Amino acid sequence: MSKTLAPPRPTPTGRATPRGALAVRLFGERISLLVRPRTVAVCLALVLVGVLALAVTVTVGDYEISLAAVPGAILGYGERLDVFFVQGVRLPRALTAIGVGAALGIAGSVFQSLSRNALGSPDIIGFTSGAATGAVLVILVLGAGRLAVSLGAIAGGLLTAAIVYLLAMKNGVQGYRLVLVGIGVSAMLGSVRDYLLTRAELTDALGAQIWMIGSLNSRGWAEVAAVWISLAVLAPVLLALGRRLRFMELGDDTAQGLGVPIRSTQIWALAAASALTGAAIAVAGPIGFVALAAPQIARRLTRTGGTTLVGSALTGATLLVVADLVALRALAPTQLPVGVVTAVIGGSYLIWLLYTEWRGVRA
């Protein structure tokens, strides 16, 4: 039985909006936004869950702190140990988790939009691998400090993005070609990392291996500043490109007919998303599967078919801060690297995603 779709509702200015959405126009219609009540509700719920997880994360550990004492400790009042653990250890770790999760969520949404493929995330198509290889190269070959490792991760991510884009470009960047080229480049970069590990000293190789798991342990205010500054600079660029990305998901011909500059949009979006991925990895290491799962979870929660950058950012932030809480308390008597938890969550989600896609093909 066929289903007739209801036509868009006309607005007071005569334009049409999708059913269930509200058109908001500001500054004499120079700025227009579509607000979907469900999306707003989901975003508010994600913010609430993230704040609750952050509050619990700040209180738990070997030294327990009551929730009532947290506000005073943040402001510098109360017991000296409370202030030390909240301000110096737990709050910067939680804020780093939120920033890294948001960065990976936005970047994953952009990559999936450009490739038009649910598997088109930095984890799968090689950008995470490139950033990790750049950082490992700095650790094992140069023996440099944390700042150089961070710069190496960002440089590795950007260089990998440029290589994948150039290899995948043929009359524009096609989604399946971007994914396949990225998987191949990721495999080659993995072999480079393995070779470097086999040639390194045991202690250096162990340190690099631990970094490659992805962790939020010992993250301080310098890491908080780095990831949040990166978000403040790069996220507005990607948000400004969000409308173009949604048009491009309709197909290059349709987007070009609507006046979207395809090539420049791809380059700017790919560069900004790659830099954001590199910044997140530079701070916390290659935390896997957040960029893959967050955009898809956000789409399913908001029930939208296009790019959801804000929803993906909030989902990624909530997912990572909850995973860090699980790593702190639930799985082992000692702290686990958060990358272990996200790998379990993301791997399970990837299996489910592939299974549902297979069922859809069989149907």
Backbone angles phi, psi at 284, to 5 degrees: -120, 0
pTM of this prediction exceeds 0.85: no
- Kindly report the number of other CB atoms within 10 A of residue 180's CB atom: 14
At 313 the pLDDT is 92
Domains of the chain, CATH where assigned:
36-70+91-355 (1.10.3470.10)
Instruction: Give residue 314's pLDDT.
Output: 93
> Up-side HSE of residue 277: CA atoms within 13 Å toward CB?
38
- Cα–Cα nearest to 99, from 247, 316, 357: 316
| SS3 category, 20 | coil
Backbone angles phi, psi at 211, to 5 degrees: -65, -35
Question: Taking the C-alpha atoms of 323, 234, 132 and 181 in order, what is their torsion angle to the nearest 10 degrees?
Answer: 110
Q: Following DSSP, what letter does each residue of 129-149 receive, concatenated?
A: HHHHHHHHHIIIII---HHHH
Helix H or strand E encompassing 80: helix 80-85
Instruction: Say which amino acid occupies 37.
Output: P
pLDDT at 174: 63
Residue 327: its pLDDT value, please?
80
Q: One digit per residue, pLDDT tens: the chain, 363 residues?
A: 433 334 444 444 444 445 555 655 555 555 556 667 788 888 899 999 989 988 888 888 777 888 888 888 888 887 888 888 888 888 899 999 999 999 999 998 998 888 777 777 787 777 788 888 888 888 887 766 677 877 888 888 888 878 887 887 766 556 677 778 888 888 888 888 888 888 878 777 777 777 787 888 878 888 899 899 989 999 999 988 888 888 887 777 787 787 788 788 888 888 888 888 888 888 888 888 888 888 888 888 888 776 788 889 999 999 999 888 888 765 555 667 788 888 887 777 778 777 776 666 555
Q: Indicate the Cα dihedral angle 54, 55, 61, 67, nearest 10°.
A: 180
Residue 205 Cα distances to 147, 217, 337, angstroms: 19, 19, 17
- Amino acid occupying residue 258: L
What would the two tokens of residue 217 be? Answer: 């342990």
Which residue bears the tokens 């250096």? 204
